[in-house]
Copies of this chain bind each other. A is one copy, B any other.
């Protein structure tokens, strides 16, 4: 839409984020194994947990993605490739979300949660590359150092958090998903405010 060098890339990325988040609901289904619908809906709590966790996580991803591209002067071929791989992993999230929704509290719960956690870890790794690569060579000349430092701080905990989450899955798959949800809840507000404030102040 805009022609600022990163606009088209962001438009396509935004579409993928919004669609991936909204498709999550299609992974919810009633299995009719526990008698009446009322108790069935209560037994679906792992599905609600998986839905909320993935929705909020994609929400954070979207916010931070804009924060990065607001500081980039012009994408190059490496950045485009990393961004496409990154979107590929984000758009994949509904699949392990469905696994968690179906298998949590069942005998296969560990495999389901490990698949989920590995997907998020891979996302976090690619996300770090998506920031560290342009940070080293594609920043706008007028990118405010405070904004750069804020994004640095904002991305630092990503990989460690998802490594911990992955480790917790071996002890308790449910705790692992709950921890992912908690990380998303605490992450959303901070990242947004940082982005809105600092680049403007410097403009």
Query: What is A's interface to B at a CB cutoff of 8 Å?
Result: 1-2, 5, 8, 11-12, 14-26, 28, 30, 36-38, 41, 51-52, 55-56, 59, 62-63, 66, 74-78, 80-81, 84, 87-88, 91-95, 99, 103, 107-108, 110-112, 114-115, 185, 188-190, 192-193, 196
The reply to whether B189 and A78 contact each other, CB–CB distance below 8 Å, is: yes
Q: Which residue of B lies closest to A74 (CB)?
A: B196
Given contacts A24-B91, A111-B37, A193-B76, contact A14 B16 (CB under 8 A): no
In the assembled complex, the Cα of A93 lies from the Cα of B22 at a distance in Å of 10
With a 10 A CB-CB cut-off, give which of A17, A22, A94 has the most chain B CB atoms.
A22
The reply to whether A196 and B5 contact each other, CB–CB distance below 8 Å, is: yes
Given contacts A22-B20, A94-B25, contact A80 B8 (CB under 8 A): no
The copy count of this chain in the complex is 4
Given contacts A22-B91, A23-B26, A196-B5, contact A190 B12 (CB under 8 A): no
Which residues of B have CB within 8 Å of A51? Answer: 88, 92
* Chain B proximity of A166: nearest CB distance (Å): 15
In the assembled complex, the Cα of A24 lies from the Cα of B88 at a distance in Å of 10
The reply to whether A188 and B84 contact each other, CB–CB distance below 8 Å, is: yes
The reply to whether B26 and A75 contact each other, CB–CB distance below 8 Å, is: no
